[in-house]
Amino acid sequence: MKLKTLVLSGLIGLVSANAMAADIQSRMIRFGYGLNEDSNQGRAVQKFAAEVGKLSGDKMKVRAFGAATLGSDLQMQQALLGGAQEMMVGSTATLVGIVPEMAIWDTPFLFNNAEEADAVLDGPVGEQVKAKLEEKGLVGLVYWENGFRNLTNSQRPVTSLEDMDGIRLRVMQNNVFLDSFKALGANAVPMAFSELFTALETRTVDGQENPYNTILSSKFYEVQKYLTVTNHVYSPWIVLVSKKFWDKLSDDERRVLEQAAAASRDFERRDTREEAAWALAELKEKGMEVNELDAAQVDRMRERLTEVNQGIAKEVGQQLWDDVQAELQKIRG
Ligand code: TK8
């Protein structure tokens, strides 16, 4: 054997020896997600699957199902609760029916940049909100970045608040989003992401809002002409495990999932930010007309959107609201 092969097989031997010694059974994990395989979400699920394989000596296998083939976020959540599906990733916004505190992340303009989001989500408050899932039958592993959301529509360039008037806008199935866009004058329609492309194509709705990455990977540019840079809210994704499945796992098996999730998070955030940095130019290239809002319009929008803040504080509890604000103060110095 060549030296390289020897060293390599030695290494592989080591990994599987560790996995062998550990208390790891052969496990099949069905992991569902909403976006296409060729998306930041799909790539990160692949990364997670590879890590789980590596850390478990290939005993634990992740089978990935993209493009909502296992159902919408809400349907997958139900499947996890019932134990019919082991894992998923989706927007925290779609979880508010199970854990109302998740609505804190829907606060318009909560974070000024991704660093603030990372610090709060990975810090004590983010952990505390994530931990609420457990008593409801879900285990939250890590937050991924969906990203800052921007507005698209097929009707007209939106450069002022008034331009939003009457636009039929799909929003996530979440009250904060519904109230926010009603406050902006849009005709907001809650709808699952899995139905969105068709709804845009058939003009059942005029517009939607999502990060550049998603507008690109879901090919919304094919059915949406206008994009307005609003960055109105930062959306996290959260990686979930069915508690029914989790309860069957040994400590070693749980550690495999936790370590793989942490690796996938770091990968996903890097990948998403790299893609977001060039995605807008690509969307222009694909024919979208991109509009920026001038400072006065941003202020007006911000003012209108923050009308919903009191409602959010009520929904999540004043204490949590204050804790997040305090944490942001600390970060901002
Ligand atoms: C994907 C969704 C998506 C979200 C939305 O399943 O619904 O608009 O941004 O990422 O969770």
**Ligand 1: centre distance to CA 193 (Å):** 5
235 lines ligand 1 (CB under 6 A): yes
146 lines ligand 1 (CB under 6 A): yes
Look at residue 4 and tell me whether its pLDDT is greater than 60: no
Please identify, by atom number, the ligand 1 atom nearest to the C-alpha of residue 34.
Answer: 6
* SS3 sequence of the chain: CCHHHHHHHHHHHHHHHHHHHCCCCCEEEEEEECCCCCCHHHHHHHHHHHHHHHHCCCCEEEEEECCCCCCCHHHHHHHHHHCCCCEEEEEHHHHCCCCHHHHHHHCCCCCCCHHHHHHHHHCHHHHHHHHCCHHHCEEEEEEEEEEECEEEECCCCCCCHHHHCCCEEEECCCHHHHHHHHHCCCEEEECCHHHHHHHHHCCCCCEEEECHHHHHHCCHHHCCCEEEECCCCEEEEEEEEEHHHHCCCCHHHHHHHHHHHHHHHHHHHHHHHHHHHHHHHHHHHCCCEEEECCHHHHHHHHHHHHHHHHHHHHHHCHHHHHHHHHHHHHHHC
Which of the four pLDDT bands, split at 50, 70 and 90, describes residue 5? Answer: low
Q: Average pLDDT, stretch 207-226? A: 98
Domains and CATH numbers, the chain: 26-99+106-145+236-277 (3.40.190.170), 150-234+278-332 (3.40.190.170)
In tens, the pLDDT along 117-171 reads 999 999 999 999 999 999 999 999 999 999 999 999 999 999 999 999 999 999 9
Q: Average pLDDT, stretch 267-296? A: 98
Nearest CA to ligand 1 atom 10: 91
- Calculate what percentage of the chain has a pLDDT beyond 70: 94
Which pLDDT does position 17 carry in this prediction?
A: 53
